[in-house]
Each structure stands twice: as C-alpha cells, then as structure tokens.
Structure 1
Amino acid sequence: MRKLLLVLLCTLMTFSVMANGQSDASASGEKKLKIGYTVQSMENAYFVSVVEGMKVAAKDMGIDLIVADAAADASKHVAHIENFIAQQVDVILISPVDEKAPEDAVANAQAQGIPVIGINQTVKGSSAFIGTSEYDFGYNGGIIAGQWLNEKEAAGTISDVLNKKGEIEVVVIRYDVIASLIDRGDGLKAGMEETYTGSAKFDYVFEQDAADADTGYKVAETALTANPNVAIFLGINDSSALGVYEACLARKNHTINNTCITGLDALPQALELIAGDTMYQGTVDIQPAKLGRDALEIAMKVLADGPIKEKILIDMKIVTDANIGEYIK
C-alpha cells in the first residue's frame, strides 16, 4: 500500500497544480489531460457524490473532465465511449449499467490507445478496476441488521419483530440487473444471518430490484401491502433504502422499535436519519467523493505506467448510531 501511495504521489507531482488553479502543462501551452467519465446514473445519489468529488479533483489537478450520464441505459455507455474517442480523450472512466454491453466499445477505445478504467463494476478489457468486494460490501450492511436483532434479543424485546409464526419477515432490495451486484445482495443476507445469534428463523417475503428512491418506495409499498409485518429491509444502496424509509414512515405501525432499514454508501440523507434515531439503523461508508479523486489518480498512474492487473479495493466502514458522531457533529 505504501509503495502504491508513493507511486501515486510521484504521478501527482508530474501533474502538479499552480497557485492560480491552472496546471503547469496548461500554463505553458501544452495540451491538458482530458478524461471522459460515463456514469451509470445521476439519479443515484451515490454517483452524484462520485462526480462531485471527481470534478473538484479535476479542477485541482488541471484536468479537462467530461461527464456523461447513461441514465441507467447500457446503450448510452456505448455512445458515450464513441463520443469520447471522437473527442480524443486520454482516458475513459466507466461505471457500467451492464458489464457486457460496452465490451466492444471498450475494445475499440483500447485499440485507439485510450485506456479504459472501470469504477464500481468492472468491464472486460479494462486497464484497471477500482471498486469494492461486492459480497463484503453487502455483508457489512447485513451485519447492521444482525446486530440490531441481537440488541433486541438482549433487551428481551425480540417479540416486537416476530410475526404470528415466530419468524422475522425480511425484504431484500437487490439490483441483480448488474451481475456483480448479485454478490452484494447475497452478502446482505449472509451478513445478517451469520451475525444474528438468536433462534428465530428468517422469512424472506420479498426480493426485488431497485436502485433509486422512487423505485425503492414502490418496492416497499408493494411488499408492505402483501406483508404488513415486515421487520427488516436490507437495501442494496442508500438511494433505494431512502425510498423504503419513506414508505415505512407512511405506515403508522412501523417504528424504530419494530423496523430496521439498512443501506449502503453513507449518503448525507442516510447519515442524518441515523443521527436522528429513526428506523434507518445504519449504512456502510465507501467515501464516494474520495473515490472520484482516487479514480483520476489511478487514471494518471495507468497513463504513466500501464495497466494495473490487481483490483484496487475501496475501504469500507459500518456506520450506526454508535459512531455517527464521526460524521455528524
């Protein structure tokens, strides 16, 4: 890790920024580094944070950044990559909707001498990949629900969350549209099951795809109409889980005592709900704004030294009421 940081530091020094905010290369009339990022969906608050962090970093580093929103349409990634090639970008970054759809476009970019770097989800033929272990990401989210149930057991209030059969009803908000996120959804369930030490059985009454708040709300509404006693909602991300929260809030029988909602990404709205002592019990932080900066640094390293074969992992941290003070003062 120290060696990688040193390499990155040296690379960054090559692209040092002058006090007036312009890069040395730009000031001397040389061509600025141009990077294109085709992002999965700007309807997803997580990617909004990634892009915001990337824009700040690009300004600091004197990089000409072009951001294109695929709006959850895999075919748009292909069009974006073709446009980036035409604009003669130096590097292409992609957070794909579908990992297979852009393969030919990625191969074309590479053939033109333009490295392509996958962010969050990998793409075949990419020069580097920076992301999480999707299973571990989900597993950490599941731990939050398991710990919440253990606290109910210890307090003697586990009956608050049991249905008439003595089971714990669970809804899993997945997003299996992206192949790698199947592992994340499976990790959510495993993290909860392996953390919970009580004897009650889980009843997975509903598992459905959702990636944003609107869809999360609709999925929760459908699930709660058929199963009004759902106690656990495991969210594939905070964006969808925030929609779940609104759906639960509208139902008077769901409270902090009998409902646990978990998300992933540590979005500001989620953090506020955790700090406010609500049904939103926790999330997992992977610092999306920092990821935006890291992605640009990796892009420069690839340009300087060539492809990186090893997956570059993003650090993650569970956030609950126990440590929310680190995020909200």
Structure 2
Amino acid sequence: MNYLLHAATILAGATLATGAWAADGKPLAKDCGPNNDYVIGFSQANFKEPYREHVNHELERLVKNYPKFKIVIADGQASVNTQVSQVENFMTQQVDLLMISPFEAAPLTPVVSQVYKKGVPVIELDRKTTGDAYTAFVGGDNRKIAKEAGEWTAKTLLPDGGEVAILEGLPSSSPAIERMEGFKEGIAGNPKINLVATQPVDWMEDKAVTVFSAMLQAHPDIKVVYTSNDLAAAGAYIAAKQVGKQDQVKIIGTDGLPGPSGGIRSVADGQWAATYTYPTGAAEALELARKILIDCATEVPRNVTVPSQRIDAANAKEMYGKETF
C-alpha cells in the first residue's frame, strides 16, 4: 500500500466542520513553510508493547519521505511522570510539533494543554487526553471496532448463546474504556449471551494469564473471551491451554500485528478466532504534520479515523506477514 497516498486520501475526506483552526485565520504553527527544517517530538506511552514498537518503526520508516522532518521518539516507560517530563523537555528544546500517545488520559492533560496553549501544534496518536486542548487526534474508532467484535460474537461465534468474558486494557486509558463498552454494546443484541467476568489486565500478557486462569476456574464454561489487545489474547490462550480448554474458548484479539509473533499468525495457526487490526496512524499523523508545518495550514481535520478490519479464519493466512494496514 502507498501509505502517503492512503493518508492523504483519508485527510482529504475528513470533515473540517469539526476541524482545528486558528481563530485569527493565521497558520496553526507559529513558524512554518517549505524552506525550514522541523523537529517533531513524540512521547510514546511505552516501548514494551509490540503495538507501540510497530508504531515507532512506522514513524521512523515513513518520516524518511519528509526530508524536512526529524522525529525524536521518547519512551514513556508506562509512567505518567516520565511522560510529563518528556513533554516539558520537548518544550525546553522548542520542538516544532508535539506528538503524544498518553499512557493515561487525565494525568497528562494539564501538561499537554500547556503546550497547546503556547501555540505548539499537538497531535494525539491512538490515545486521547481529556478535554479539547489538542490540534488533532489520529486513531482507530475503538468503540466501533469492539462493537463489531461483539456483534460478530453474538451472531457468528455464539448464535445460541453462552458465557463470555472480557480482558480489559489499562482502565484509565481511553482505548481500554471504549473497547470494553463497545464489546458490551455488541453482544447486547443476543440475550442468550451471558457476560460472566470483566477484569483489567493493563495490556500485559503475564497479567492476562493470571487473570484468565482465575476466570476459567470460577467460570469453566466460558466460550469466548474478548481482549483489548493482542498481548492479552496471547495470555488468554496460554491460560486456556494450561487447563486443556484452548479448543473450547474462542479468543478475540485487538491490534492485528503482522510478523511471526503477531496476532495475525495466531489466527492463521488456529489459536485465536479473530483479531481486529488497529493501524498505527503513523502515515496520517505525518501527513497532518506536513499540512501544519510545511503547508502552513490554518485548519486541519480535528479527528482522523484510521480503518480497521477483522482477521479471521477466512483471511488470516492470506494476510499473514503483510503490512498493509
């Protein structure tokens, strides 16, 4: 896929009615234009999650298409305090644009708001802070993705009903909340489905093993588990296999990462029922940065939603190893 063309197409189709714009009609960036060089500071929530590594690699690969850009990616280490310090350091270094994937929404809102109010463009990637003190958000529609997973469960996996469970991500992050609520909405259409357990695992595989093991002990008839990310899905599979229930429990992941350790392979190998791709948004974020810094845009789309798709037994083997999202 041509990522830049894909990103430009999405941005071109995004509505500007809800766009971010300069109230005085001036460019969103104080210093902009095609002749300058720009530094983009990106505070990543952490470097441990495979999805986060995938985002970083995509940004580093795609930024090469923008010779005027240099991107500095900092490891938030799954720590609010670390990310606050990183954002403050980026401001001291006078970066031209801030990108951030906040580990937690509310605690990082004040420092991000300060940056935005100082006139530095802010692109939030994958996760939002609270309020509206940012220039643009790029990410998937978590609620919609999870709702589709719930509807698929209700209609295809368990049309006759059964017990299901949810392994939630970090409950203080916007994607975890939206994915849990979306899945609940999706399965609500089938009154024969019984949600017997919901518990956060903070996106972590080892915690998912522990939590789902306890769930299976308390509810041995669980037929489907929806997980907020692929690491949690991997943990759920380990827990199910430990008690010989890997064939009974249908696992749904979220991320759909490529490669030998990604979710697509787990579906292709028959370990999981499905995973839903969650594109990095790297191409779209860099295209927004180009509009803001190089084109001196006075307005950009406020929200850019990157598309997702379900990977299941019908398409997993074909998709395996392809980085097309």
TM class, shorter-length: 0.7 to 0.9
For residues 201-220 of structure 1, the aligned pairs below 5 Å read 201-220=193-212
Q: Are the counterparts in 2 of residues 52 and 292 from structure 1 also a CA contact under 8 Å?
A: no
Runs of 4+ in structure 1 deviating by more than 6 angstroms, as ranges, are none
CA shift for structure 1 position 305: 0.7
For residues 8-27 of structure 1, the aligned pairs below 5 Å read none
Structure 2 gap segments, 5+ residues each? 1-7, 15-33
Q: Does 1:137 align with 2:129?
A: no
SS state of the match for residue 102, structure 1? helix
- Amino acid in the other structure paired with 1:170: V
Q: Deviations over 1:18-39 (max 9, x none)?
A: xxxxxxx8xxxx7532111111
- Amino acid in the other structure paired with 1:98: E
| Whole-angstrom distance in 2 between the partners of 1:125 and 1:213 | 33
**How many pairs are equivalent?**
286
| Whole-angstrom distance in 2 between the partners of 1:103 and 1:187 | 24
Residue in 1 aligned with 2:268?
A: 275
| Whole-angstrom distance in 2 between the partners of 1:146 and 1:116 | 39
- Amino acid in the other structure paired with 1:213: E
| Whole-angstrom distance in 2 between the partners of 1:56 and 1:236 | 27
Q: CA RMSD in A?
A: 2.5
For residues 88-103 of structure 1, the aligned pairs below 5 Å read 88-103=94-109
| Whole-angstrom distance in 2 between the partners of 1:324 and 1:180 | 24
SS state of the match for residue 223, structure 1? helix
Structure number with greater CO (CA < 8 Å, separation at least 6) is 2
Q: Does 1:56 align with 2:48?
A: no
Between structure 1 and structure 2, the one with the greater Rg is: 1
Question: 1:241 and 1:127, CA in 2 relative to 1: closer, same or farther beyond 3 A?
Answer: same
Q: Are the counterparts in 1 of residues 274 and 312 from structure 2 also a CA contact under 8 Å?
A: yes
SS state of the match for residue 173, structure 1? strand
Q: Are the counterparts in 2 of residues 144 and 282 from structure 1 also a CA contact under 8 Å?
A: no
Out of 153, 169, 176, the position equivalent to 1:181 is 176
Structure 1 gap segments, 5+ residues each? 8-24, 159-166
| Whole-angstrom distance in 2 between the partners of 1:3 and 1:185 | 27
Residue in 2 aligned with 1:70?
A: 76
Q: Are the counterparts in 2 of residues 127 and 307 from structure 1 also a CA contact under 8 Å?
A: no
TM-score, with length taken from structure 1: 0.79
SS state of the match for residue 264, structure 1? strand
For residues 147-296 of structure 1, the aligned pairs below 5 Å read 147-150=155-158, 168-175=162-169, 176-179=171-174, 181-194=176-189, 196=190, 200-252=192-244, 254-256=245-247, 258-268=248-258, 269-278=262-271, 280-288=272-280, 291-296=281-286
% identical equivalent positions: 22
TM-score, with length taken from structure 2: 0.80
Residue in 1 aligned with 2:47?
A: 42
